[in-house]
Amino acid sequence: MTGRSPPTGNWRAIASSSDGTRLVAADSSGYLYTAADGGVSWTQRAASRPWSGVASSSDGTRLVATVNGELIYTSSDQGATWIAQGSTNRLWSAVASSAGGLRLAATEYGGQIWTSNDAGLTWIAHDSNRAWRAAASSADGMTLVAGTSGDWLYVSTDGGTTWTPRATSQYWWALTASADGTHLAATVDTGRAYTSSDGGLSWTARDTNRTWRAIAGSADSMRLVAAVEGDTLYQSTNYGVTWQASGGIGNWMGVASSADGASAAAIDVGGSYQTCAQEREIAAGCCGPSPVWTQVLLLWVCSSSHPALARYVALIGRPRQPDRAAVVGLAVDGRSIGVLTQN
Please compute the mean of the pLDDT values over residues 258-267 and round it to a whole number. 84
Domain residue limits, the chain: 2-262
| Nearest by Cα to 5 from 341, 302, 327 | 327
pLDDT at 26 over 50: yes
Percent of the chain with pLDDT over 70: 76
| Nearest by Cα to 20 from 52, 44, 56, 46 | 56
Contact 281, 270 (CB under 8 A): no
Those residues whose C-beta lies under 8 Å from the C-beta of residue 27, and which sit 6 or more positions away, are 6, 9, 10, 11, 12, 33, 48, 51
Query: Which range (240-254, 258-272, 276-290) has the least confidence?
Result: 276-290
> Can you tell me the distance from the alpha carbon of 45 to that of 15, in angstroms, rounded to the nearest whole number?
15
What's the chain's average pLDDT? 81
Instruction: Please state whether 39 falls in left (phi above 0), alpha (psi between -120 and 50) or beta.
Output: left
Percent of the chain with pLDDT over 90: 62
pLDDT at 280 over 50: no
> Can you tell me the distance from the alpha carbon of 340 to that of 333, in angstroms, rounded to the nearest whole number?
19
- What pLDDT, on a 0 to 100 scale, did the predictor assign at position 5? 53
> In Å, what is the CA distance from 117 to each residue of 62, 103, 112, 120?
13, 4, 17, 7
Length reported for the chain: 343
pLDDT at 255 over 70: yes
| Nearest by Cα to 298 from 264, 330, 267, 261 | 330
What pLDDT digit, counting tens, does each position of 11-22 carry?
889 999 999 889
> Can you tell me the distance from the alpha carbon of 343 to that of 339, in angstroms, rounded to the nearest whole number?
13
Give the dihedral sign, CA 258/15/177/234.
positive
- What pLDDT, on a 0 to 100 scale, did the predictor assign at position 301? 38
Give the model's confidence band at 267: pLDDT under 50 very low, under 70 low, under 90 confident, else very high: confident
What pLDDT digit, counting tens, does each position of 128-170 carry?
999 999 999 999 999 999 999 999 999 999 999 999 999 999 9
Q: How many CA atoms lie within 13 A of 255 on its CB side?
A: 37
Is 331 strand, coil or helix? coil
Please compute the mean of the pLDDT values over residues 238-244 and round it to a whole number. 96
For 2-262, which CATH class?
mainly beta
Give the model's confidence band at 251: pLDDT under 50 very low, under 70 low, under 90 confident, else very high: confident
> Can you tell me the distance from the alpha carbon of 41 to that of 175, in angstroms, rounded to the nearest whole number?
28
Contact 167, 186 (CB under 8 A): yes
Is 270 strand, coil or helix? coil
- What pLDDT, on a 0 to 100 scale, did the predictor assign at position 278? 31
> Can you tell me the distance from the alpha carbon of 117 to that of 141, in angstroms, rounded to the nearest whole number?
9
| Nearest by Cα to 196 from 139, 132, 153 | 153
Element (H, E) at 283: helix 276-283
